[in-house]
Amino acid sequence: GNSVTQMEGPVTLSEEAFLTINCTYTATGYPSLFWYVQYPGEGLQLLLKATKADDKGSNKGFEATYRKETTSFHLEKGSVQVSDSAVYFCALSLLSGGYNKLIFGAGTRLAVHP
Amino acid sequence: DAGVIQSPRHEVTEMGQEVTLRCKPISGHNSLFWYRQTMMRGLELLIYFNNNVPIDDSGMPEDRFSAKMPNASFSTLKIQPSEPRDSAVYFCASSSGRLNEKLFFGSGTQLSVL
């Protein structure tokens, strides 16, 4: 079936450290891929997306590249800030039952310390 | 726009009671989703509405759960009777257009069933 697997958290980093959160997917067809972020006490919000192989999504210093050969969409940031502390969700979108259905990974909690 | 509005923010109830969660999507959005978030199962899609019509309710756990969307600006998710295992955060999300790729989430309802 279609699914998303993320690295387990929590990920704990010091401010200005390099961040990688791994995400791999299994899908029939050609999904679009997304990263959503959930700040404490809030709903999820779209961080970035990529719609086809080799596309790079980027936003707020975060980047992720759609790698079809490794079925991956790892999230990276060169220098994290305390304000980046949140839960990050990888997701894929596939046409299913006549509509685009978003399937989320389990989420990875990031804690950044000063 | 105020975003997706959910109420209540917190609900504590006793097993066997009826629980009703409410959602007001963003004006102009024609798709509405109800999700449930738990530590064990992550983020699960419960039901999807398009133009007020339920399109996919395959994620609704059992007959105790029901959802309605009487008009474009309001939806409810009802649990009757509630059970302790229903304790979770319930999110409503809305989107516009055909692709349903950028979802706007509400802040969620934290439900505790004692």
What pLDDT, in 10s, does the model give residues B15-51?
999 999 999 999 999 999 999 999 888 899 999 999 9
Nearest to A32 among B45, B101, B108 (CB): B101
Cross-chain CB nearest to B43 (options A45, A96, A104): A104
Q: Report pLDDT digits (tens) over A61-75.
A: 999 999 999 999 999
Which residues on adjacent β-strands are paired with residue A12? A111
CA–CA dist A40, A43 (Å, integer): 8
C-alpha to C-alpha distance for A46 and A57, rounded to whole angstroms: 11
With cut-offs at 50, 70 and 90, classify the pLDDT of residue B98.
Answer: low
> Is pLDDT of B12 > 80?
yes
The share of chain B scoring above pLDDT 70, in percent, equals 97
Q: Give the Cα separation of B97 and A31 in Å (integer).
A: 17
B93–A97 C-beta distance less than 8 A: no
Q: Residue A51: closest CA among chain B residues belongs to which residue?
A: B101
Q: What b/e string do you get for B10-30 counting C-beta neighbours within 10 Å, with b at 16 or more?
A: ebebeeeeebebbbbbbeebb
DSSP symbols for B22-88? EEEPPTT--EEEEEEEETTTEEEEEEEEETTEEEE-TT--STTEEEEEEETTEEEEEESS--GGG-E
| Among candidates A49, A97, A106 on the partner chain, residue whose Cβ is nearest the Cβ of B56 | A97
Sign of the Cα torsion A54, A55, A58, A64 reads: negative
Residues 6+ positions from B41 with CB-CB distance below 8 Å: none
Q: DSSP letters of A51-101?
A: -STT-EEEETTEEEE-BTTTTB--EEESS--GGG-EEEEEEEEEEETTEEE
Mean pLDDT, range B76-84, rounded to an integer:
97
**Which residues from chain A sit within 8 angstroms of residue B55, using beta carbons?**
97-99
Terminal Cα distance for chain B, rounded: 36
pLDDT in tens, chain A (114 residues): 789 999 888 999 999 999 999 999 999 888 999 999 999 988 899 999 999 999 999 999 999 999 999 999 999 999 999 999 999 999 999 877 777 888 899 999 999 999
pLDDT at residue A95, rounded to an integer: 79
> At residue B71, what are phi and psi to the nearest 5 degrees?
-155, 175
* Cross-chain residue pair B105–A104, CB shorter than 8 Å: no
Closest CA to B38 of B46, B30, B29: B46
* Residue A80: Cβ-neighbour burial (10 angstroms; 0-12, 13-18, 19+): buried
Give the DSSP H/E element, type plus range, for residue A104: strand A99-104
Could you say which of B42, B45, B106 has the minimum Cβ distance to residue A43?
B106
Kindly identify which residue of chain B lies nearest to residue A98, measuring between CA atoms: B55
Kindly tell me the burial class for residue A63, based on how many C-beta atoms sit within 10 Å of its own C-beta (0-12, 13-18, 19 or more): middle
Asked if B64 and B85 count as a contact pair (C-beta separation under 8 A), the reply is no
Q: Calculate how close chain A gets to B104, using CA atoms only, in Å.
A: 6
Q: Are B107 and A93 a contacting pair at CB < 8 A? A: no
Inspect the interface and report whether the beta carbons of A105 and B93 lie closer than 8 Å.
no
